[in-house]
């Protein structure tokens, strides 16, 4: 099983949907396109805890204030705004 497989399993558990495809977008290991039965999503990877909390909360706030070009944050099945994965460097 590859690191991507473990990464997908973490996401499936967290969000409660089946992932049929996960692939990197561009270079730099920061964005992934995720295809599920429910549709397509884009994931952003953060390397530092404070960065993820600040950026996520800012996106939620801006989106709630009508900034439609701000990415919508999809909460996990249990309501969390982000997921911490034990996989640090998918290959």
pTM of the predicted structure, to 2 decimals: 0.67
What stretches of 1-91 adopt beta strand conformation (E)?
Answer: 19-24, 31-36, 39-44
Print pLDDT tens along the chain (91 aa). Answer: 455 565 677 788 888 888 888 888 877 667 888 898 888 988 887 777 778 888 889 999 999 999 988 888 888 889 988 877 665 544 4
pLDDT of residue 85: 65
Asked if 41 contacts 23 with a C-beta cutoff of 8 angstroms, the reply is: no
pLDDT of residue 58: 92
């Amino acid at each position: 099983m590859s690191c991507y497989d473990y990464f997908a399993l973490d996401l499936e558990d967290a969000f409660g949907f089946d992932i049929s495809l996960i692939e990197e977008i561009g270079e730099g290991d920061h964005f992934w396109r995720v295809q599920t039965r429910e549709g397509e999503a884009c994931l952003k990877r953060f390397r530092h805890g404070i960065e993820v909390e600040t950026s996520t909360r800012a996106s939620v706030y801006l989106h709630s204030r009508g900034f439609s070009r701000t990415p919508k944050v999809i909460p996990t099945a249990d309501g969390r705004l982000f997921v911490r994965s034990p996989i640090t460097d998918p290959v």
